[in-house]
Amino acid sequence: MTDSVSDGISRAPRIIMLLPIAFLLHLMEEWFADFSAWTLVALGTEVSSVRFVLINTIAFVVFGIGTMAAIRYPRMAWFGVSFAALLGLNGMLHTIASVGLGQYSPGTVTGLLLYIPLSALVLKSFATRLSVAVFVKSVLFGVALHGLVAFMAFF
């Protein structure tokens, strides 16, 4: 199967299939490094283990379905950009937290090694597949989704 279809609309590049895998590895790092306890100590408010599992279970299902839809249906290709933007932002925020607070933020390793480079590759691969307007809106949607997840986690 190719990445383009007869009407000139591009499908999402297959590299986006790596995003849910990176997400799962990142969640494992956060879980085993006790992200919940870190949030209480570093940020003064805890993301409970129950809330962490609930939010990330829903997110994983949504991202899995969205990734499959983006690969299967050209009109859903924008989802890959949104997902990559969300993960790239998350990787940057973990890095900033670690540097700014002078301590390891659970998720920084996978954020630096997986999220940031993989997101950059995915975003680059979409640069010629989507119109500028759709690309920008998709990035902004990914940033907004990250904000929604943060709101759900902390409030």
Q: How far is CA 65 from its chain centroid? A: 14
Decide: pTM greater than 0.85: yes
Residues 8-66: pLDDT tens digits? 456 688 899 999 999 999 999 999 999 999 999 999 999 999 999 999 999 999 999 99
Q: What dihedral angle (degrees, nearest 10) is formed by the CA atoms of 114, 116, 117, 121?
A: 120
Q: Which residue has the tokens 């940020």?
A: 43
Q: Over the range 55-85, which residues count as b (16 or more CB within 10 Å of their CB) and which as e?
A: bbeebeeebeebbbebbeebebbbbbbbbbb
